[in-house]
Structure 1
Amino acid sequence: MRALLRSLALAAFAMTAAPLPAQILDFADLDGWAEDDHRAALVAFRETCAQLDDPDWRPLCRLAADAGGSDASARQFFELFFRPVLVGEPPALFTGYYEPELAGSAHRTPRFAWPIYGRPPELQDGTQWLSRAQIETEGALRGRGLEIAWLEDPVEVFFLQIQGSGRIRMTDGRVIRVGYAGRNGHPYRSIGQEMVRRGTHTLDQVSAQEIRAWVRANPAAGRELLNHNPSYVFFRILRDLPPEKGPIGAMGRPITAMRTVAIDPSFTPLGAPVWIEKDGRDPLRRLMIAQDTGGAIKGAQRADIFFGTGFEAGEAAGTIKDGGRLIQLLPIDRAYAMLPDG
């Protein structure tokens, strides 16, 4: 998700939706705060600080550049200049995403027959255009030379669009990295929820792995199921992104495995530190940075955790659907301004 409009990243941190309950907490109220690696969080925070051009953030970013020589000094930085704010009503919903590594071809072959497309020049942000079914089933873009690469099956195209970025190992030996370039303006619809509605699965059975398996086992019905989500994402080649860096997030900068989350920027400022208390099978208590967005990420207590690159990251991300709490760390003045009498 995932990396949406850069303009959203630059403006949304100053915006909130209709007021929600907000409670200022103490750092002592954050479960596991003292045990985290605050220096790693500070490194991730610096990655996107330059994009925060609001008066509340600029001085903090200057201080962040000189802080964090040790974990103790990084922790002190966050505790001195931020306050934890619980916005909305828990439980949160945490899911996961990742950067896929896929096989692909520069040309269509019997094996590689499913294209990913670059952004059509006539596409206008904020308006509805061709649906997924019109593009994939009816072939509305065929013959226009917009193909960036060809993949092995439609479910990989679908999940690449859900993730918003990926690495493609081409048959000629090259590895290209692709990132979000736009979408067709149709609303995102959950395939998992549709499987539950149709009665093929129960809610606890739905995962990214199960959706992949079912679509591959039922090719015709699977393609029809994928078309239930009319939203369609277009890509661009990221030519200058070092291989050791993560994909580009909504703020136009690389994101960091297990330190970046995608959030709803109507409620959580892009670029802000957020404290994650994820429950479930593998509990997680960690300071992360809100550096990305996603079409399915809606609400103040909603976050998508970036697990990294490749198969193992995808396996871990695809099984996450847990509750807990999401707590924003906001500059002190902004935190107190969120209170009803602020």
Structure 2
Amino acid sequence: MKKLLWSAVLLAALSACSTVPVKESGAPGPAAAVPEGPLVVPALSALPDTPARVLQGRYAPVGWQNLPGWSADDLSHVWKGLLNDCRGLMRPAGSLASPARANPRAWQPVCQAAVQSGLGPDAPGDVVRQFLQAQLRPWRLELASGRPASGMVTGYYEPLIHASRTRGGVYQWPLYATPADLLTIDLGSVYPELAGKRVRGKLEGKRVVPYDTRAEIAADPARQPPVIVWANDPVEAFFLQIQGSGRAILPDGSVIRLAYADHNGRPYVSIGQWLARQGAMPLAQTSMQNIKRWARAHPDRVQQMLNVNPAMVFFREEAITDSELGPNGAYGVPLQPQRAIAVDTRFVPLGTPVYLDTQRPGGGPLRRLVYALDTGAAIQGAGRADFYWGTGPEAGALAGRMKQTGEMWLLWPTAAGAPSAR
């Protein structure tokens, strides 16, 4: 009882530093990246029987024929995703930042069968379908009432910007590395009942105080963290922060990835809503393109606009080893374009293959196998998902128009019973 009381007191005392998340979509902080090279599946006895994590969803087993459009989904490019997913599932428990992952012991026989199948990244779709149907069973995600858990499906993407390692000319807008004085306090590591609760701040004497806002960082050179690159467009740099990661084309033509590293812990505030309140444009027209036009017309007010949002994302530089794959999601597994989603891990454990039934922006069905590899501050509720479209302007245009309802089925090892998490 005393421990629970002290936990509540501690959480309240630190709440001024804000709990974690922080970019509008994507991960609050990635797990250790999956190892490269051949998939190694440990023996079942080598996987620790870690404590179970209670899922809040209700799951009903169904047949494959109940998945709308399942037989029409082209699975010729999903085997790479399955092997990467198994790399994540088979990691030691201590390498994962979030406890909300699919039960690796349930998945060990499936991942072992995947290795023994001898299938490669370009395995034919029909062969992949036969493997999945032999190894897995669909479970419909439902509400407590037994009705399908229909939720909102939005989209996100990996922006592409132009930037330089040195400041000069058009390259004036910094993208920062993690500051040395940023503290990230994982309350769940000390108090299990607060699992998933993190606060960010810095030391001021012997006190932990909220970390600097965007405006404070911009106004004081002494508070500015190391700069990785200088972008040529403030709005493009801002939207890269909202997405949480992106690619930067350098003046010599080389491309690097700016991957999410951390966050200042401040709440996200919409600059679009601020522009609408200022009478600059109607709220319905606050697209990235219109915000960029406003910024070009009002260069003296750009920093004022950016400072409306106190949140600041910090990055780390990564080499791009596979141009087809996106950044690592919260699960530490690379996001495959149009085959990955962010989920609410209270209902869908990370690492779970999911069959998604929703609509494309502009109309038409979007029904396909995806992997639950990411999370997001705005991704809350049963059936809620954020669909990863890929890299660049076209993916960004689709992601920006994505706001449809959808349903999902968890694809779970046949012999393991209902979906479970560790």
TM value normalised by structure 2? 0.69
1:27 equivalenced with 2:64 (yes/no): yes
Q: Secondary structure at the match of 1:186?
A: coil
Q: For 1:137-175, what per-residue CA distance to the aligned partner results, in whole angstroms no more than 9, with x for missing partners? A: 555633x5x000001232112111122222211124432
Is the 1:255–1:291 contact (alpha carbons within 8 Å) kept by the matching residues of 2?
Answer: yes
The CA deviation at 1:187 is 3.2
Partner residue, 1:70: 124
1:76-130 Cα distance to aligned partner (Å, 9 max, x none) = 3322323232144643212222222211111112411110000112222232322
Structure number with greater Rg is 2
Deviation string 1:289-311 (CA, Å, 9 cap, x unpaired) is 11122233222222221111222
Q: 1:216 deviation in Å?
A: 4.7
Separation in structure 2 between the aligned mates of residue 331 and residue 184 of structure 1, nearest angstrom: 39
Amino acid at match of 2:30: R
Where does residue 207 of structure 2 map in the other structure?
none
Contact 1:273-1:330 at 8 Å conserved across structures: yes
* 2:84 counterpart residue number: 47
2:255 equivalent to 1:175: yes
CA displacement at 1:33 relative to structure 2:
0.8
CA deviation vs aligned residue, 1:243-281 (integer Å, no higher than 9, x gap): 344322222232211111122223211111111112252
Q: Check whether the contact 1:215–1:223 (CA below 8 A) recurs between aligned residues.
A: no
3-state SS in 2 of match to 1:55: helix
- Quickly say closer, same or farther: Cα 1:318–1:210, change in 2 above 3 A: farther
Three-state SS of the structure 2 residue aligned to 1:258 is coil
User: Post-superposition shift, 1:135?
Assistant: 2.4
Unaligned runs of 5+ in 2: 1-24, 35-50, 91-103, 185-197, 201-210
Aligned residue pair count = 333
Match of 2:153 among 90, 94, 102: 94
CA distance in 1 between counterparts of 2:59 and 2:317 reads 41
Whether the 8 Å contact between 2:350 and 2:372 is mirrored in structure 1 is: yes
Q: Distance in 1 between matches of 2:308 and 2:395?
A: 26
TM-score, normalised to structure 1, is 0.83
The 8 Å contact of residues 98 and 317 in structure 1, kept in 2 or not, is answered as yes
Structure 1 segment 168-317 matched on structure 2, within 5 A: 168-191=248-271, 200-202=281-283, 205=285, 207-218=287-298, 223-239=303-319, 241-279=321-359, 281-282=362-363, 283-317=365-399
Residues 190-249 of structure 1 show CA distances to partners (whole Å, capped at 9, x for unaligned) of: 55566677785355x454444544555555666545444433211111136343443222
- RMSD (Å) for aligned C-alpha atoms: 3.2
Which stretch has the larger CA shift, 223-232 or 169-178? 223-232
Identical aligned pairs, as a percentage? 39
Indicate conservation of the 8 Å contact 2:342/2:385, yes or no: yes
Asked whether the equivalents of residues 83 and 329 of structure 1 are also in contact (C-alpha less than 8 Å), the reply is yes
Counterparts of 1:97 and 1:148 in 2: how far apart (Å)?
A: 23
Separation of aligned partners in 2, 1:195 and 1:297: 25
Q: Distance in 1 between matches of 2:255 and 2:395?
A: 18
Task: Spell out, residue by residue over 1:25-52, the C-alpha distance to the aligned partner (whole angstroms, 9 max, x if none).
Answer: 3322221111002342333121121111
Where in structure 1 are there 5+ consecutive unaligned residues? Answer: none
Equivalent in the alignment of 2:199 = 127
Which letter maps to 1:234?
A: F
Residues in 1 aligned to 2:381 and 2:278: alpha-carbon distance in whole angstroms: 26
Q: Give the secondary structure class of the aligned counterpart of 2:347.
A: coil
1:84 is the counterpart of 2:139: yes
Larger deviation: 71-80 or 313-322? 71-80
